[in-house]
Amino acid sequence: MIKRKRFVLLLFFALTTIAIIIKSIQCVHDGGMMHLFLGASQLLFHQINIYNHPIPIIKDISQEYSYSPFFALLLIPFSFFNGNVIEYIWLLLNVFFIYRIIKILSVQLNTSLLTGIQKELIVIFTYGFSFRFLLYNFGEAQMTIFLLYVCLESISWFQNKKWIAGSALLALGISIKILPVILIPYLIYRSYFKESIGTVLFIALFFLTPFIFFNSDYVSGLYSSWWKVINPTNASFVANENGDHEGVQGLSGLCAALFTSENQRYNITRNICSMNAAELNWITNILRLVFVSFTLFFIKAFPFSKKPTAIQMGWEVSYILLITPLIFPHQHKYAFVLIAPAVAFIIRYLMLNWKNRNEKLKIRIIFSFLLASFLLTTLTTDGIIGRHLSDVANYFKLISYGTIILIIPLYLSRPAKRFLI
C-alpha cells in the first residue's frame, strides 16, 4: 500500500508527465528544433554554409542555425533518418537527463540532513518552479535540459575524481553550444586545474574534428560565420534584441527594451531612454560584467585556495547557472530552466530553517523574494494568465526581472558551516 506522502509525489509526477507527453507530441507534430539541427547536418554534408541558409522547420517557417559546426557534424548519421523519429528519441533522452539532474542535486543538497517529506517537497517545489521552462524545452526539442545535465554531471564527476570523463562531457556541452564555457574560469579559480586543462584540450579536439572530414577553407569559413552569430560584443547583434525579437530575454533583451526607442505597445512605454547600438552594447556588457563579478561574493575565498565541499560548490555553481541565461545574448524562455539548481538550494535552506526563531526575519525575506520570482517567472505563462497578459509580461521581460531578484534569496541561502560536509 502506497504511503500517503508518497501518493502526493506520485500524483504530482503523473500529472506533469502527462503534460510533458502532450507537449512532446505537439512538438513532433508541429516541428521542433531537431529538424533545424538535422537540416544543418545535411547542409554540412553537402558542404554548404550552414549559417547563411535558413532551414525549414515546418511549412512556411524557417530558422537560422546558431549551434557549432561540430554539433552539425555529430548529427550527420542521424540526418538520414526520419526527423520525427529522431525527435521522439531526443525527447525521451531529456526525461533521462531530468532524472539525472534530480539525482545529482540530491547529492549536492546533502539530503541526508533532511527528512523524507522535506526531500519530496524540495523536488516538488523546484520541479513546479521550473515546469514552465521544462515544457518549453519539450515543446521545441531544445538543448537546455541537456546542457544543465552536462554542467551538473561534469561537476559531480570532478568531485568524484573522474576528471577525464568530466572534462570530455563538459567539453562536449561547450562544443555543442557555448553556454557551459562559463564554468571553466570558475574551475580554475577553485583549483580544478587538470579538469580545466582537460576540458580545454577536449574542446580543441572537438573543434578540430570537422577539419578531418571537410576542406579546411570550408570549415574555417564555418567557424568565422559561427563567431559572427555568437559574438556578444557585436553591436548590431545587441541592437536587434528589441521589438523584433519579443521572445528574447536576459540582459540583451532587457537592455534593448529599456534603452532603445520603439513604437509604444499596450499603452505603456517600457524604455527609459534611447541609445544607439554602440551605447547599448556598452551598457549591456557592463551589466554582464557586474553579474559575473558578483560570483566573487558567493565564493568569498581567494583564488586557488582549497577546493570547496560538495554542497558549497553546488551552491556556487547554482549562481553561475542562474546568471547564464542573463549574460549570454539571444536567450529565450526555455534557457531559464538553468535556474532550477538555485531554486533547489533556496528551498533547501527554507526547509532546514523554517522553524528557527533566530532566522525568522531572514526566512521571511528569502520566502518573499522567492515568491516574487515565482510570480514573475512561472505564473506569467499563458496557460495561467491567458495569451494577452502573457504577451504583456513577455513585452516587459518579466522573466528576466524574476531571475535577477532570485539572486537575493540565493545569496541569503548560503549553506551554514555546520552543513558543509
pLDDT of residue 414: 92
pLDDT of residue 4: 52
Write out pLDDT tens, residues 315-335: 999 999 999 999 998 888 999
- The 10 Å Cβ neighbour count of residue 192 is 23
pLDDT of residue 269: 77
Q: Give me the tens of pLDDT residue by residue for the chain, a chain 421 residues long.
A: 445 555 555 666 666 666 666 666 665 556 678 888 999 999 999 999 999 888 877 666 778 888 999 999 999 999 998 878 888 888 888 888 998 998 899 888 887 778 878 888 888 899 889 988 998 888 888 899 999 999 999 999 999 999 999 999 999 999 999 999 999 999 999 999 999 999 999 999 999 999 999 999 999 999 999 988 887 665 545 545 544 445 788 998 888 888 887 656 767 778 788 888 788 888 988 999 999 999 999 998 888 887 888 899 999 999 999 999 999 988 889 999 999 999 999 999 999 888 888 888 999 999 999 999 999 999 998 888 888 888 888 888 999 999 999 999 999 999 876 444 4
Q: According to the 3-state scheme, what is the secondary structure of the chain?
A: CCCHHHHHHHHHHHHHHHHHHHHHHHHHHHCCHHHHHHHHHHHHHCCCCCCCCCEEEECCEEECCCCCHHHHHHCHHHHHCCHHHHHHHHHHHHHHHHHHHHHHHHHHCCHHHCCHHHHHHHHHHHHHHHHHHHHHHHHHCCCHHHHHHHHHHHHHHHHCCCHHHHHHHHHHHHHHCCHHHHHHHHHHHCCCHHHHHHHHHHHHHHHHHHHHHCCHHHHHHHHHHHHHHHCCCCHHHHHCCCHHHCCCEHHHHHHHHHHCCCCCECCECCCCCCCCHHHHHHHHHHHHHHHHHCHHHHHCCCCCCCCCCHHHHHHHHHHHHHHHHHHCCCECHHHHHHHHHHHHHHHHHHHHHCCCHHHHHHHHHHHHHHHHHHHHHCCCCHHHHCHHHHHHHHHCCHHHHHHHHCHHHHHHCCCCHHHCC
pLDDT of residue 162: 94
pLDDT of residue 420: 45
CA distance 238 to 282: 10
What is the bridge-based pairing of β-strands 61-63 and 55-58? antiparallel
pLDDT of residue 77: 94
CA distance 324 to 334: 12
pLDDT of residue 1: 42
CA distance 288 to 251: 7
pTM of the model: 0.90
Question: Would you say 258 and 272 are in contact if contact means Cβ atoms under 8 Å apart?
Answer: yes
pLDDT of residue 106: 86
20 closest CA partner among 137, 182, 126, 175: 137
Locate cell 545529482: which residue? 104
